[in-house]
Structure 1
C-alpha cells in the first residue's frame, strides 16, 4: 500500500469495516488524524472530532455481533437545522475517511449502530450544534494481514464486498447516446461515486451531464427512500465524483452543478 497515496487510490480500496482489532489508535496516528481534521473543519465550518476508546458507545452493536471491537469514532458535528452543512459534513468527513484509509485504518459510517446519547457525552456539541452522524474508525481485524495485502488485492476486495447500482442507474436521467458521448472525466467521476458509502447502501444520488455548457449535476433520487441521510450521502458522492473527475468544483445543494476546470 505504501506507493499508493492518492485519494483515488483510497476510493478504490475503501470498504465498510465492521470488525476491528482490539488495539487502540496510538497517539501519533491520532495526531495525524487531528491534523487532517483541523483544516477540514475550518474550510467546512464543522466540528468533526476524533474520539478514542469509548466502547460503551457501541456496546449493543458489539454484543450483537453487528460490530466487533468498535471503540473509536469520528463525531460529525455541525450547525443545527442547516441542510447545506449536512451536505458539507458528508463531503469533508468522507475526505477524512479517505485519509484514514491511506493510513491503513478501517472505517464505517454509522447512523443507528451506536448509542448517540453516549457518543454525544464524549464530544463537544454546543447549543447551536448537533451531532449528525458518526464514523467508526480503528485497526481492521487482523490488520497486519490487511496491511500486507497488495493494492491489487485490496481493489478486488472493494469490487466484490457489496452490490452496487450500475452506471446506467446512476445516470438514469440520461439517454444511452448521451452517456456514450459524455467526456471521460464525467464517466470517471460517476465510477468513483459508485464506490461511495451511503445509508443502508441505498446510493441515492443521480448524475447527469449537460453537453451544452460542459457541466455535470447531482440530484437526490427520491425513489431511493433515503430521506433521513440523503444530504449527507449527497456530499459523500460529490466528493468521490470530484476526485474521480480529477479536477473541478461542485456547487452545494440538490441539483448543484459541477464545473470541470
Structure 2
C-alpha cells in the first residue's frame, strides 16, 4: 500500500459504532485475512479475523451502545508483555487503515464486548491472552457512506470528535522550539492527532530533539488506564505515516529517526 493511500485512510478514519446487518463479503474477508497474515509474519503478532459472532457484542448491541456489531479483529498477544501491547496497537491500526480504504468501518473496544465469548473463537496458544479487539464491518447505510466524496469524509473526520491541540500534543516544547522543528515533525504530530485512543484520552505527547534530529514519544504519567501502551503504538504509527519514512524504537520514550 502506497504512503499516500495511508494518509488518505488516516484523514477519513472515524470510530464507527453502528453497522449494517450485512456480512463482510467473501473477497473482502479474504483480503483482510491475507493482510493480517502478512502483518503477523512481519511483526510477530497473532492477530485474527473473526466473522459473524454477534453474541460477542450482544449486551452492547442490545443497549444501543453498538448496532449490529458481529465481526472483529482479535489481538492475541503474549501474557504481560508490555512491548507486545504497544506493537499490537501499532500493527493492528495498520490493518484498520487498510480496512478503511476498503470502505469498512472499525472501532477499537476495551469493554463493550464479552471477552470470554470472543476468546472461544480465537486460536490462543499457551502463554497468550486475548488482549483487545477491533470491531469491523460495513458502516450503517454503507452504500450512502461509500458514495460520499473524499472531501466530505475528511470534513466529517475533522469535526466528529474533540481533540487536543498541537500545543498539548507537544506540551514539553516551547513555542520557539515548535517553530524551529522541521516540517516532518509537525506533519507527524498533526497525523498523530487523528489517532484513536481509549476513551479519546490521547495520552501521548511528542518532542523534537534537535541534537539528534529525532522525535520522542512519551505517555502522560497521569494516564494509568489499561490500554495506554496500545494507544502509544497507535499514535506512533500515525506519526510515522505523517512524518514519512523512518522508524521508531519501542517503549515509553521511544525515538523516531527519519530516514
Q: Which TM bucket (shorter chain)? A: over 0.9
Say yes or no: does 1:167 pair with 2:166.
Answer: yes
Deviation at 1:5, TM superposition (A): 6.5
1:171–1:208 contact (8 Å) kept in structure 2: yes
1:1-261 equivalences in 2 (<5 Å):
6-223=5-222, 225-261=223-259
Cα deviation for residue 226 of structure 1 reads 3.9
Q: Which runs of 4+ in 1 moved over 6 A?
A: none
Whole-angstrom distance in 1 between the partners of 2:57 and 2:37: 25
Q: Contact (CA 8 Å) 1:46, 1:79: kept in 2 or not?
A: no
Contact kept, 8 Å, 1:5 with 1:102, in 2: the verdict is: no
Could you tell me how far 1:30 is from its partner in structure 2?
A: 0.6
Q: What's the offset of the Cα at 1:173?
A: 0.5
C-alpha distance after superposition, 1:125-154 (max 9, x if no partner) = 112111110000000000000000000000
Preserved contact between residue 44 and residue 89 of structure 1 (Cα < 8 Å)? no
User: How many angstroms apart in 2 are the aligned matches of 1:103 and 1:5?
Assistant: 15
**Secondary structure, aligned partner of 2:46:** coil
Gaps of 5+ in 2: none
- For 1:227 and 1:187, how far apart are their aligned partners in 2? 27
Task: Report the CA distance between 1:231 and its aligned residue.
Answer: 0.5
The structural deviation recorded for 1:17 is 0.1
The CA deviation string for residues 147-181 of structure 1, in whole angstroms up to 9 with x for no partner, is 00000000000000100000000000100100011
> How far did 1:39 drift?
1.5
RMSD across aligned C-alpha pairs, in angstroms? 1.0
How far does residue 80 in structure 1 lie from its aligned partner after superposition? 1.1
3-state DSSP of counterpart to 1:222: coil
Shift of 1:227: 2.9
